[in-house]
Each structure stands twice: as structure tokens, then as C-alpha cells.
Amino acid sequence: MGEKLVLVTGAARGIGLATTRKFLAEGWRVAMLDTDAGTLKAALETLGVPDDTMMIEADVSVPEQVAAGIQAIENRFGRLDALVNNAGIADFQSIADTDIETWSRIMAVNLTGPFICTKACTPLLLKRGGAVVNIASISGLRASTLRVAYGTSKAGLIHLTKQLAVELGNQGIRVNAVAPGPVDTEMAKKVHSAEIRADYHDVIPLNRYGLEEEIAEAIFFLSCDKASYINGQVLAVDGGFESAGIGLTSLRKE
């Protein structure tokens, strides 16, 4: 029972599932939380390591559901060493088309959710010290069209990361954020047209989308002891997108 344990929210697919696989490969156990019970159960069965994984069906924006999940973790494993706040939703619309219900739901999941989960996990994390990694977005660092709710929620999460790092770092819990750029997830493949992908390629120095596994590597690093003096930071895993200004397309034509 000495293996470390991480809780990954939004673990049924995409970056959350890739992160689960990475932690398992490194010898950790993983509690996988998601609202989509069917997809989560299928992911658990595919992983095929029931002794090292745990399924929690919960909505991160509902404190009572999160609290019940954390209690189940304590009952089964008696410890928690890291939390990855990955659960998130998006709805890309202009401010004119963003109604208050959409705005409120995105804020509830993307910003309030990490607050609820971190608060609920803190007592367990305090037992041995640990780490929290919030999954923000390049949209929280750079404004762009059709992201008035999503981008604002991720910018808020970045500042929440810093607030938590200052308070919890003093108690032995490091808090950092990963801000992915465009990633080749199933969602991106469905909603990014050829034109959108070409536009992204034009402003990413590495000239490609990232992979879910590449984001998972950064998340694991910030969660483990190799990052023991990193606290309150935002790591953009974006192929250089945040750093690029104008002129990259012209440079490539030379």
C-alpha cells in the first residue's frame, strides 16, 4: 500500500485518460473521476488494472458529489498524493451569442470545479504533502475570438493556481498549471476544420498540434518529486504558440 495515488478529473477520455495512462506507467495508482459513467467504465476496463484504478462518477461543480468521491478515495486507499484538475467544458461563441446559462455552466465546471476539488482534497494532501496541477489553456493566456466564456474561465483558473500556490505551498502542497495549446484530441478533430488547423499551423513555431501524451508528460512532471521546487507556475505546452508574434508565416516563405 505504499504506491502513490493521484486523482484525475475528466479522466474518461482525451488528456485525462492519457494522464491516467502516464501515471499508471510510472507506478502510481489513479482515481478516475468523470460525469460520463459509461465512457469512464469502458476506459477502466480497457486499462485492465482494477487494483490500481478507481472509478468515481461525479460532477466537479457539485460539492456534495466531490466530497463523496474524496471520502471513497480515503476509505479505499487512505492517501492522496496529487490532484489533476482536468475536467472542463467549452462552448465557442461570440459574446452576443453567449447566454448567461452557458457562461455560468462553463465557469462552474472550469473555475469553480477546481476550487471545489482542491478544497476537498486538501486534508488528504496535507497528510504527506503533495501537488495540484490545474489544466488551464493557452486561451487563458491569449485572447481570441469566440472564447469569451471559455478563455475567461481559464484565465481565472490561472490566477486561482497562483492564489492556491501561495496559501497551500506554505503547508507543503505545490500548485501549478499546464496551459495546453492546440491538441489533437477527438474533440479538436471534430470541431477544427482544415482552415482552422491551417491557421493554427501558421502561428505555431513547431508547425503542428500537440499530442495528448505530450500534455500528460508535463502534468506528471509537475506532480512528481522532480518538480519539488516549482510552485505557482504556468507551463504552456503549446509548441511555442504563446511566444509567437507576427511574421512567422512570412519567415517560412523565405
How far is residue 35's CA from residue 58's CA, in Å, rounded to a whole number? 5
Does residue 229 have an active-site annotation?
Answer: no
Burial (CB < 10 A; 0-12, 13-18, 19+), residue 137, is buried
Burial (CB < 10 A; 0-12, 13-18, 19+), residue 197, is middle
Catalytic residue among 150, 200, 209, 229: 150
Q: Which residues are catalytic?
A: 150
